[in-house]
Structure 1
Amino acid sequence: MTLAAILTLLLQILVILLLLVWWARWTPRGLAWAAFALLAAAGLSYLSSLLFHVPPYQAGCDGVCPGWRGYPLPTHHVLAENRVIFDGASFVRNAFFYYAVFLAYSAIVAWLIRYFRMTERGWSRWLLFILAVIIPLASPPLWLPPPQPAVSVADLRLVNNAARDWRWQLHLRGGMDRRLALEDIRPAPDGQGQRVCFRIYTWFYLPYQRAYIDLDEAGLRARDGREIPLTQSCWEGDEP
């Protein structure tokens, strides 16, 4: 582990300890809630390995670079031929991250319930309150970047051009499409220009579909593109 990773982990532990103290003082059942939150955090760490998937890729690599699953840290490493290796240390560190987030967000909700005296309100006020709690959970694709390969400046230009034309030239973006995450860049099947493959995330950062954009030889404009199900490959069965 690097020094930055160690300091981040220590900061997370400190935040968790402070939140545990807060919950213990807030309600007699605070520690029981903290125990439930720990189980939920482990579940969220596992869930992240299902939602966030970067397959093995070629962009910026000599050959094929391994992909990964999980967020914010890779809980699984995906090697060539889709061989998956579990990373227990990163799984635990992810669980610590989700534990801190879960405790903090639920503490905010608990404080708001008491502050607005929600126990004395009718069902309509409760409905509005629940919506106010859920909407921030649905919005991360609008402001939180997804996991994706790190590419060179030249490849990043292709990614930006493809993402731009996916929306403005090809008009493929729909109401469910909230975030594009690069999967790979390879030569187009017809040998003219490059094909950029994206994973599309929707609200709550749920994976929705894939999209591929074929750029011209200059890499400036889209020649073709479409959205396909996650079960299909951008490379027509030519994955590493």
Structure 2
Amino acid sequence: QTLGAWTAAEQGARFFRNIANENTTSYRQLIVHEVMGRNCGWLTARTAFDYRQSLHEYDWLPEALLHNARWDLDAVWVPELEFDFDAEVERLRRKMDEHDSVNIFLSEGAGVEAIVHQIETETGESVPRDAFGHVRLDEINVGNWFANQLRGRLSAEKVLVQKSGYFARSAAPNAADLDLIVRSAAHAAEGALQGRSGVAGLDEDNGGEMNIIPFPKIKGGKPFDHTQAWFRDMLGEIGQPLGKPVTVGH
């Protein structure tokens, strides 16, 4: 468990709670929430889950068009799962016709290869990459790309693309992360005194218990485990088909 990840998900959900209120300002509104995380969709998925949980705190007033369906999510797109874009457009158009709004949580790494291919094919120029060969996501604006593809096909009257990255990253740690920080620091000190090498943290291979984890096990590039029940249940609840697994590069 990465320090700060729980806080980032909580803050991203808080960010979108405010943004979602914009759906009362116009007809046929599309909101795309682009979430940081590059090619790992965990933060997008967890932020979506936390946001949907927070909707239980609202006192809805359907007769004033303040009902859960307009604030709920309609799609959660992560890099680790393939999705049929044309089929999704048809599904989301039905949502737009029914609820007058569509809310999408989009991982900044979702669909990047297809976007890069289209840009390079149309322009004949290479998309900028960083020193490690990674596509510079700020150069291709994933959220804007998807919004532009969806605007006409959903007949959206208003389109908002919002990024919660800086908002989430600048937040103070929440109670769960503070507890994890204290426990990790104490366990790291104990491990150092014992001459053990690694990183202190919650170990999935050790029942989620605190452990000194060997460096090779925590190297970057770990994909989001989309087989987890909470994620699959969420997709089922919003009516999104479970796509085929995708092996993503890091």
Same topology, TM > 0.5:
no
Q: Which has the higher strand share?
A: 1
TM-score, normalization: structure 2?
A: 0.27
TM-score, normalization: structure 1?
A: 0.28
Which of the pair has the greater relative contact order for Cα pairs under 8 Å at 6+ separation? 2
